[in-house]
Structure 1
Amino acid sequence: MITMSLFSGLDCSCMAPFSKHRDKRPTLDPKDYMFDKLKGETIGKLPGSLNGQQFIIQNCEDCNIYIFDHTATVSVDDCVNCRIFLAPIKTSVFIRDCKDCKLMVACQQFRTRDCHRLDVFLSCVTQPIIEATTGVKFGCFQYYYPQLEGKSTVEMNSILN
């Protein structure tokens, strides 16, 4: 049994008291980090708008989607006939239940499941993981925009080299 006498000789004057209030972090709205149920739109996120957060693209049809900011991970689900550009992603991209889409992606890990007829321009550190997917064509990620160069962190260098 530990008794308080063990701590009696410690100087605790430098320790801050516990606060009942958490630090003032900005509240994130999940709607700002997803595109959902879009049809026939051209839409995107500019550099500085996502700041490394996860992003979700789902239930979109006939859209042009551009993500020019860095993200932690991206999920693309149930999209049909979309063209999707994703700026370098720190970790994984998950493509699920999509049909007739074209994707341009740089990431650490690329995964597909239950997709049909994808054209993928890819730069990936690991080999792609393709599950229950048919009609996939791969090409090399070849894209440049000025802010892409500014993403030369350790993670981005490993993706783009």
Structure 2
Amino acid sequence: MEGLAIRASLPKKKFSFKSKPSSSSSTKIQKRDLAPPPTNVVVRDSPGFRNKRGETLAKRFRSSSSSSSMGEFTLSDLDSCRVHLTGTVNALFIHRLRNCSVYTGPVLGSILIDDVEDCVLVVASHQIRIHRAKKSDFYLRVRSRPIIEDSSGVRFGPYCLGYGGIEEDLKTAGLEEETESWANVDDFLWLRAVHSPNWSLLPQEERLSSVSISGEGDS
């Protein structure tokens, strides 16, 4: 009888052992089912600032309730520039920036950031995707979890921008409340259970406390 009891227990152990890899495999599949940031980013043919070096660039967008409000805006191929964008815009594309500081009012839709290095970006949007970023700091207000891919040395903190009328702009964009989603970053290609080494939260003592910009600029 004892021999039968031992043999009867063996299948249970074997079944339990197989269940662990199955669970891990399921987790990987679920994460890869998420829509990934595009790997080949095409710079949009939209209004924007392009091919500038060592300049301060400012743009004031009109209210989203205006019939002439801006649909999309692009920042591309900027080096050592300071960018001020106030008001609201539907979508923002940021591509190939080096050693730049970017401060923007709320974006009604999404922000796509690709190929930035040694930059500081203070941005707000419902969805923010970051691709190929290096050694850059992001201060975000965002409704969903920020997504990074092929990035390293990126740090995150809370949105800290101020300008005349920003409270109304945030309300218009549905971003008036701080949800702290900026701290819940999803590294799309990091599938391990431990924290991704590619991103971190900015230490409190190293964060910008606030940034104030004027609402001046072409509208």
- Both proteins in one fold, TM over 0.5: yes
2-structure distance, mates of 1:154, 1:138: 21
Look up the equivalent residue of 1:131 and give its one-letter code. Answer: E
Q: Which amino acid aligns with 2:133?
A: C
The Cα shift of 1:160 comes to: 7.5
- Cα distance in 1 for partners of 2:157, 2:177 equals 19
* RMSD over equivalenced CA pairs, Å: 2.3
Contact kept, 8 Å, 1:113 with 1:133, in 2: the verdict is: yes
8 Å CA contact 1:125–1:158 kept in 2: the answer is no
SS at match of 1:149: helix
For 2:158, the equivalent position in structure 1 comes to: 140
Structure 2 equivalent of residue 42 of structure 1 = 56
Q: How much does 1:128 deviate?
A: 0.5
Q: Which moved more, 1:121-130 or 1:140-149?
A: 140-149
Aligned to 1:17: none
- Aligned equivalent of 1:128, options 126, 129, 146: 146
Number of residue equivalences: 132
Report the counterpart of residue 70 of structure 1 in structure 2.
Answer: 88
Which amino acid counterpart does residue 142 of structure 1 have in structure 2? C
What SS does structure 2 have at the residue aligned with 1:37?
A: strand
Q: Within the alignment, does 1:156 sit opposite 2:175 as a pair?
A: yes
Give the Cα–Cα distance (whole angstroms) in 1 for the partners of residues 108 and 177 of structure 2. 10
What's 2:8 paired with? none
1:118 Cα offset (Å): 1.1
For the 8 Å contact 1:100–1:116, the answer to whether it is kept is: yes
Percent identity over the alignment?
Answer: 26
* Greater RCO, CA 8 A, separation 6+: 2
SS at 2:136's partner residue?
A: strand
CA distance in 2, matches of 1:130, 1:101: 15
- Greater Cα shift, 92-101 or 43-52: 43-52
Q: Contact conserved, 1:82 with 1:102, CA < 8 A, in 2?
A: yes
Tell me by how many angstroms 1:51 deviates.
2.1
Residues in 1 aligned to 2:121 and 2:173: alpha-carbon distance in whole angstroms: 24
Please list every run of 5 or more consecutive structure 2 residues that lacks an aligned counterpart in the other structure: 1-43, 181-219
Corresponding residue of 2:71: 53
Q: Distance in 1 between matches of 2:57 and 2:142?
A: 25
Q: Normalising by structure 2, what TM-score? A: 0.55
The residue type equivalent to 2:74 in the other structure is I
In the superposition, the TM-score normalised over structure 1's length comes to 0.74
